[in-house]
Amino acid sequence: MKLIVAMTGGSGAQYGLHIIKTLLDLGHEPEIVISPAAIKVLELEVGNSYRSILSNVEVQYDVNDIAAPIASGTHRNDGMIIAPCSMKTIAAIASGYTQNLIHRAADCMLKEGRKLVLLFRETPLNLIHLKNLTLLKEAGATIMPAAPGFYYHPKTVNDLVDFIVAKVLSQFGIPHPRFAPWDPEKAKEDLLEDNS
Ligand SMILES: Cc1cc2nc3c(=O)[nH]c(=O)nc-3n(C[C@H](O)[C@H](O)[C@H](O)COP(=O)(O)O)c2cc1C
């Protein structure tokens, strides 16, 4: 599957990074574009280790290259994920003010009727955020708050990240290697084990 993955300057850089890593591990070839604010947040939240993961991605676009292939609706792809998606990028896409390649590629997804998944971490949400998110939902985007479920009894931060990564990838029919579908019997067994 050929997905565009963009990272912007919202908190939750681990989500975008793990989406890219999981796609690579599964043999997909993501095309990526990363905003300067996302780089800043990666440095603050993840540290330098992000560089080695991103170095495995063959196709990486400059966020200012508005002539890149993904700036056109003619580019062949299976959709786009923005993770994390800042409220600034949400506002830019919702208003159609495509100032950089991430905004433009997202605009192309909506106009071509392709899947656009927007994963955001922001909380609480003000009325402007809510109106922009509503508009994007009406325009066809998939709106995903980065809100992990606790019914899988996560034990590590990675478990929480995996939950969200699995949810995002399932939007494209891609099963997560470390995340089985919900099984209430297994959940009961896990809980007994945790409490023993
Ligand atoms: C550590 C850190 C965490 C941030 N977290 C968020 C966030 O969760 N949501 C958000 O909308 N902006 C967040 N911001 C602010 C954005 O990075 C800022 O609005 C930036 O201009 C977004 O630009 P971009 O959308 O082009 O990447 C954060 C900034 C920093 C430095």
Q: How far is the CA of 47 from the centre of ligand 1 (A)?
A: 17
Please state whether the predicted TM-score (pTM) of the whole model is above 0.85. Answer: yes
- Using one digit for the tens of pLDDT, what is the confidence trace for 71-96? 999 999 999 999 999 999 999 999 99
Model pLDDT, residue 179: 85
The pLDDT > 70 percentage for the chain reads 100
Average pLDDT in the chain: 96
Mean pLDDT, residues 129-135 taken together: 98
Domains detected in the chain: 4-195 (3.40.50.1950)
Q: How far is the CA of 10 from the centre of ligand 1 (A)?
A: 4
The answer to whether 38 and 16 are in contact (CB under 8 A) is yes
From the alpha carbon of 8, which atom of ligand 1 is closest? 27
From the alpha carbon of 90, which atom of ligand 1 is closest? 25
Q: How far is the CA of 9 from the centre of ligand 1 (A)?
A: 4
Angle at the Cα of 141 from the Cα atoms of 135 and 146, rounded to 5 degrees: 100
Q: How far is the CA of 145 from the centre of ligand 1 (A)?
A: 15
Asked if the model's pLDDT at residue 186 lies above 90, the reply is: no
Please give the order of strands across the beta sheet that includes 31-34: 59-61, 31-34, 4-7, 80-82, 116-120, 142-145
Structure tokens at 171: 């939007």
Burial (0-12, 13-18, 19+ Cβ within 10 Å), 28: middle
**From CA 48, how far away is CA 62, in angstroms rounded?**
19
Of 86, 102, 125, 136, the one to substitute when testing ligand 1's pocket (max ligand atoms within 8 A of C-beta) is 86
